[in-house]
């Protein structure tokens, strides 16, 4: 329900051209990452999930500090959360539905390939390209400094650099999860069924 609600708000913000509504959608996403981390706690939280819950809010917060059109961020938010809703539905089917696990993983593989790998990579390129052009080149990022009475005080933090590294890590995780899903989709049906009976959709 969370993923569906955030996806709907992001899509509505994009359609209405409302940055305020987009901020509400982004805030809901950050809040959920914090809530999920606290509710699962460290004993039940897998390392990959923990890193994802840390990096994802960083990406959202850093991207909101860039000059990129907020509709690109809405599109990225829609891709991530709509695929999250489909992932939750797939987990439900694996646990309670009488559907082939291999078929579920095959469908989920294409969902991940489009919504978690291809389109987020396109959005990342758009955001970084826009910021690099605005800053006057890739090597100009993070070179600005603050001065006080003619003396260097401290170098200014560049949000694009933080966003770039956080998004690079998040994209790497998404590609890793895609590879895991694809590997399960290519397993023989009886092997996948036995695997799911022991471990579930993790």
Mean pLDDT, rounded, for 20-49: 82
pLDDT band at 119 (very low <50, low <70, confident <90, very high): very high
How many residues in total does the chain contain? Answer: 202
Between residues 190 and 186, the one the model is more confident about: 186
Which residues, listed in sequence order, are joined to residue 147 by a DSSP beta bridge? Answer: 152
Instruction: Report pLDDT for 12.
Output: 95
Write down the pTM of the prediction.
0.78
Q: Where are the beta strands (DSSP E) in 37-144?
A: none
- Structural domains of the chain, count: 1
Between residues 159 and 53, the one the model is more confident about: 53
Residue at token pair 């082939």: 100
Helix (H) or strand (E) holding 155: strand 151-155
Packing angle between helix 47-63 and helix 19-44, nearest 10 degrees?
160
Q: Is residue 173 classed exposed, middle or buried when 0-12, 13-18 and 19+ CB atoms within 10 A define those classes? A: middle
Q: What's the pLDDT tens digit per position in 134-181? A: 766 655 555 555 555 655 555 555 666 777 788 888 888 899 989 989
Can you read off the two tokens belonging to residue 62? 């850093």
Mean pLDDT, rounded, for 81-85: 91
Q: Is residue 49 classed exposed, middle or buried when 0-12, 13-18 and 19+ CB atoms within 10 A define those classes? A: middle
Most confident of the ranges 16-20, 51-55, 128-132: 16-20
| Residues 125, 131, 136, 140, Cα dihedral to 10° | -90
Range of the domain at 174: 2-199
Which residues, listed in sequence order, are joined to residue 152 by a DSSP beta bridge? Answer: 147
- Measure the CA–CA gap between 5 and 31, rounded to whole angstroms: 13
Q: What's the pLDDT tens digit per position in 4-30? A: 999 999 999 999 999 999 999 999 988
- Measure the CA–CA gap between 157 and 39, rounded to whole angstroms: 32
């Amino acid at each position: 329900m969370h993923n569906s609600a955030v996806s709907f708000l992001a899509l509505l913000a994009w359609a209405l051209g409302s940055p305020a509504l987009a901020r509400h959608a982004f805030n809901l996403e950050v809040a959920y990452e914090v809530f999920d981390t606290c509710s699962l706690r460290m004993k039940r939280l897998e390392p990959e999930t923990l890193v994802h819950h840390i990096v994802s809010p960083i990406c959202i917060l850093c991207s909101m500090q860039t000059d990129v059109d907020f509709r690109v961020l809405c599109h990225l938010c829609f891709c991530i959360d709509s695929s999250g809703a489909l992932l939750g539905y797939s987990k439900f089917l694996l646990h309670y539905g009488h559907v082939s696990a291999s078929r579920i993983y095959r469908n989920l593989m294409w969902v991940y390939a489009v919504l978690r790998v291809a389109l987020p990579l396109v959005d990342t390129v758009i955001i970084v390209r826009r910021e690099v052009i605005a800053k006057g080149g890739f090597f100009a990022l993070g070179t600005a400094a603050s001065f006080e009475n003619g003396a260097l005080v401290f170098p200014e933090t560049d949000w694009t650099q933080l966003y770039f590294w956080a998004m690079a890590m998040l994209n790497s995780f998404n590609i890793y999860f895609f590879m895991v899903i694809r590997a399960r989709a290519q397993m023989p049906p009886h092997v996948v069924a036995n695997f799911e009976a022991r471990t579930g959709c993790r």
